[in-house]
Amino acid sequence: MKYLHTMIRVTDPDATVAFFKLLGLEEVRRMESAAGRFTLIFLATPEDMTAPGQRASAEVELTYNWPTEGQAPEVYTGGRNFGHLAYYVDDIYATCQRLMDGGVTINRPPRDGNMAFVRTPDLISIELLQDGAALAPAEPWASMPNVGEW
Helices (H), the chain: 13-23, 92-101
Report the distance separating Cα 83 and Cα 45, nearest Å.
20
For residue 145, CA distances in Å to 83, 109, 116, 128 come to 21, 7, 12, 17
Q: Which of 32, 61, 74, 127 is catalytic?
A: 127
- Whether 26 is catalytic: no
Q: Which residues pair with 119 in a beta bridge?
A: 125
Closest CA to 10 of 51, 46, 64: 64
Could you tell me which residues are beta bridge partners of residue 27?
Answer: 43
The residues annotated with a catalytic role in the active site are 127
